[in-house]
């Protein structure tokens, strides 16, 4: 390899576009992705064949369980003409301690994109820093940006622009909440967050999004008049041993009909799923007419197709 070729390889590593948090793409691009997702959804439902990623491969590394993320990326790639590789740490050398840096260099030399679901966010950052192809965050302990593309799309489909809306987060201030906080600043809506004292969101993420968020310890307070009520499991993946302690701490945070009745009369209920009925949400709310959770789940497919088309083609 000539020196020039080596420089251009280096250049491609430095300039490759990743999607680790919503902040990796400019707001205008994110808004276009939502539009594109709505468009791709309509085309797919009409039966149109559109295969811009023919012969392209997406490696999917799952260190945690998944239904929606796994199926939506797999089907999304297939519909766009490409294919996926399902890699779990146990089936690969990752589980035996091969460094992330080496794994990233090897896998990215053979595929066109990598989707990773793992625990520490620093792991996807390390992978991305050593990858010559786009890396997509399919959920870490800190963020879930793909979920927010689907959530914003769902609001837009049902209620129009999310700009200026008031959204009430009731529950744990962790990964999905953090991405909601970033979305509030980027898409210009207000996010009112109610968490128990010990489960408030990360302070740096709070600081970064200060202008668009309000913190509280009172679910009723944040839900009053809101356009959307959103929640998530009280015990995320990796926190299973804290389940009973968390259930006690989150008493009073279940989204039930009484809480929903305080929101705007047309308020939507969202949840990234999987949901635990009778814990963070009642069966009546999730099955009720304000619930958009299954449209939200389906939109993972369409939103990620728009993302894959943008990053990989």
147 carries an active-site annotation: yes
Q: Catalytic: which of 79, 147, 156, 290?
A: 147
Degrees to nearest 5, angle at CA 137 with 133 and 138: 120
Query: How many CB atoms neighbour CB 94 within 10 A?
Result: 21
**Which of the ranges 27-35, 62-70, 120-128, 199-207 carries the binding residues for ligand CP, by CB under 6 A?**
62-70
Q: Which does 112 bind (CB under 5 to 8 A by kind): ligand CP, ligand NVA, none?
A: none
Q: Where are the beta strands (DSSP E) in the chain?
A: 57-62, 83-87, 113-117, 135-137, 166-170, 190-194, 213-216, 228-231, 268-271
Q: Does 273 bind ligand CP (CB under 6 A)?
A: yes
What gap in Å lies between CA 207 and CA 221, rounded to an integer? 21
272 carries an active-site annotation: yes
Which two three-digit tokens encode residue 53? 């990623």
Residue 149 near residue 30, CB atoms below 8 Å: yes
Which two three-digit tokens encode residue 114? 């990598």
Environment class of 147 (CB within 10 Å of its CB; exposed 0-12, middle 13-18, buried 19+): buried
117 carries an active-site annotation: yes
Sole binder of ligand CP in the list 94, 194, 272, 292 (CB under 6 A):
272
From residue 130 to residue 169, the character string flagging contacts with ligand NVA as x (rule: CB under 6 A) and all else as - is ---------x------------------------------
Q: Does 139 bind ligand CP (CB under 6 A)?
A: yes
- Specify the residue, 67 or 88, whose C-beta has the smaller distance to ligand CP: 67
Q: Which residue is nearest to ligand NVA (CB)?
A: 236
Helix, strand, coil percent values for the chain (each to nearest 5): 50, 15, 35
What gap in Å lies between CA 37 and CA 155, rounded to an integer? 13
What gap in Å lies between CA 31 and CA 153, rounded to an integer? 9
Q: Which does 67 bind (CB under 5 to 8 A by kind): ligand CP, ligand NVA, none?
A: ligand CP
Sole binder of ligand NVA in the list 162, 272, 306, 307 (CB under 6 A):
272
Length of the chain: 313
Sole binder of ligand NVA in the list 37, 108, 131, 175 (CB under 6 A):
175
Q: How far is the CB of 280 from ligand NVA (least distance, A)?
A: 10
Sole binder of ligand NVA in the list 232, 280, 296, 309 (CB under 6 A):
232
Q: Catalytic: which of 121, 144, 192, 212?
A: 144
Positions in 92-121 near ligand CP (CB under 6 A): none
Residue 166 near residue 189, CB atoms below 8 Å: yes
Q: Does 237 bind ligand NVA (CB under 6 A)?
A: yes
Q: How far is CA 13 from CA 17, 97, 133, 155, in A?
A: 9, 24, 7, 35
**Which of the ranges 123-131, 152-160, 178-186, 268-276 carries the binding residues for ligand CP, by CB under 6 A?**
268-276
36 carries an active-site annotation: no
Q: Which does 59 bind (CB under 5 to 8 A by kind): ligand NVA, ligand CP, none?
A: none
What gap in Å lies between CA 43 and CA 23, rounded to an integer? 28
DSSP for residue 80: T
Q: How far is the CB of 69 from ligand CP (least distance, A)?
A: 3
- Specify the residue, 85 or 237, whose C-beta has the smaller distance to ligand NVA: 237
Q: Does 176 bind ligand NVA (CB under 6 A)?
A: yes
Q: How far is the CB of 149 from ligand CP (least distance, A)?
A: 12
Q: Which residues are catalytic?
A: 117, 144, 147, 232, 272, 300
Applying CB under 6 A, the residues found at the interface with ligand CP are 66-69, 139, 147, 272-274
């Amino acid at each position: 390899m000539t020196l020039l070729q080596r420089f251009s390889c280096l250049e491609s590593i430095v300039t490759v576009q990743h999607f680790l948090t919503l902040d990796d793409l400019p707001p205008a691009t994110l808004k276009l992705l939502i539009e594109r997702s709505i468009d791709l959804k309509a085309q797919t439902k009409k039966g149109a064949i559109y295969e811009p990623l023919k012969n392209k491969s997406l490696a999917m590394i799952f260190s945690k369980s998944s239904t929606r993320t796994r199926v939506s990326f797999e089907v999304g790639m297939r519909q766009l003409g490409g294919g996926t590789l399902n890699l779990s740490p146990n089936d690969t050398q990752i589980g035996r301690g091969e460094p992330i840096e080496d794994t990233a260099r090897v896998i990215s030399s053979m595929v066109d994109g990598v989707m990773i679901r793992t625990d520490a966010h620093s792991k996807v950052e390390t992978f991305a820093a050593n990858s010559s192809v786009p890396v997509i965050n399919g959920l870490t302990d800190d963020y879930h940006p793909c979920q927010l593309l689907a959530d914003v799309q769902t609001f837009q489909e049902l209620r129009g622009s999310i700009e200026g809306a008031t959204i009430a987060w009731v529950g744990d201030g962790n990964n999905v909440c953090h991405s909601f906080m970033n979305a509030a600043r980027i898409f210009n809506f207000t996010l009112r967050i109610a968490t128990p004292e010990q489960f408030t969101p990360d302070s740096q993420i709070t600081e970064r999004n200060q202008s668009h968020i309000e913190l509280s310890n009172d679910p009723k307070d944040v839900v009053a008049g809101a356009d959307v009520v959103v929640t998530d499991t009280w015990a995320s993946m990796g926190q299973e041993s804290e389940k009973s302690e968390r259930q006690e701490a989150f008493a009073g945070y279940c989204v039930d009909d009484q809480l929903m009745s305080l929101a705007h009369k047309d308020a939507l209920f969202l949840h990234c799923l999987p949901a635990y009925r009778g814990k963070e949400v009642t069966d009546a709310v999730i099955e009720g007419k304000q619930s958009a959770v299954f449209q939200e789940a389906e939109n993972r497919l369409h939103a990620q197709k728009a993302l894959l088309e943008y990053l990989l083609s």
